[in-house]
Amino acid sequence: MGEAKKIRVDMHEGQLSTDLERYRQLALELGASKASIVKAEQIPVDERVQMKCQIPRCFGYGVGAQCPPNTMKAAELRELLAKYQWAVLFIKDIPAEVIVRDRATIKERVEAYQQLYSIVSEVESAAFHDGHYLAFGFAAGSCRHTFCGQLADCQAMKGDKCRFSLKSRPSMEAVGIDVYKMVALAGWDIFPIGSGDKAPNVPKGTLAGLVIVQ
């Protein structure tokens, strides 16, 4: 992180395109496979994505503060996004044997998700300190399993402080962003992967993160 910039009423609008490119590069330096600058109005938000958390019921549904039905609804996100113009999207490709639900690769899988969350929080923090102080980001999967998987519960659900308050955040899909569509729109490859899928049938795994900058 560079030196914090003085807050300005224009939120450093003139610096925005340079900053966006820097955040794109930062995501790549931190381990993203691909990164792109996107318009906020092109982020596809769809209520049906949150419906898929419930039907069939995801193991993360209702058990963490950052997952449905406890996080913001698609309509709320849509309203928020209308106030923003630019975002940085990135993906991290991981091997098929790591993305599929196989106990043998659980350590690598959790590490990959943790790295994705780190990229989101680093890029968001860089934007914040550059004066884009309303920047916010979304990661992938569920923080309940990425950070608290070995623990009995989500502390924030009990009204206590989140154990990983600066790293934990909702996933893109948890708030209704159609990640498959957004990654495909960026021109990158992504494949549907179901709970019972086995590695030989999966070309690769893709984790996605998004930081809405200004």
Please identify, among the stretches 14-22, 24-32, 47-55, 155-163, the one whose residues bind ligand SF4 according to the rule CB under 6 A.
155-163
Q: Which is nearer to ligand SF4, 111 or 197 (CB)?
A: 111
Q: Which is nearer to ligand SF4, 25 or 165 (CB)?
A: 165
Distance CA 120, CA 84 (A): 17
Q: For 32-187, list the strands marked E by DSSP.
A: 34-39, 86-94, 136-138
What is the signed CA dihedral for 38, 44, 50, 55, rounded to 10 degrees? -120
Q: Which is nearer to ligand SF4, 118 or 155 (CB)?
A: 155
Q: Which of 77, 87, 119, 143 binds ligand SF4 (CB under 6 A)?
A: 143
Q: Which of 148, 177, 190, 213 binds ligand SF4 (CB under 6 A)?
A: 148
Distance CA 111, CA 105 (A): 10
Q: Which is nearer to ligand SF4, 26 or 148 (CB)?
A: 148
CB 84 within 8 A of CB 40: yes
Question: Cα Rg for the chain, rounded, in angstroms?
Answer: 17
Total residues in contact with ligand SF4, by rule CB under 6 A = 14
Q: Which is nearer to ligand SF4, 141 or 205 (CB)?
A: 141
Smallest distance from ligand SF4 to CB 149, Å: 9
Positions in 53-92 near ligand SF4 (CB under 6 A) = 64-66
Is residue 169 at the binding interface for ligand SF4, with CB under 6 A as the rule? no
Q: Sort strands 86-94 and 34-39 into parallel, antiparallel or unpaired.
A: antiparallel
Q: Which residues contact 189 (CB under 8 A, 6 or more apart)?
A: 203, 204, 206
Distance CA 122, CA 182 (A): 22
Q: Which of 144, 179, 182, 183 binds ligand SF4 (CB under 6 A)?
A: 144
Q: Which of 74, 154, 175, 193 binds ligand SF4 (CB under 6 A)?
A: 154
Q: Which is nearer to ligand SF4, 112 or 162 (CB)?
A: 162
CB 93 within 8 A of CB 193: no
Q: What does the binding site for ligand SF4 look like in residue numbers (CB under 6 A)?
A: 64-66, 143-144, 147-148, 154-156, 162-164, 168
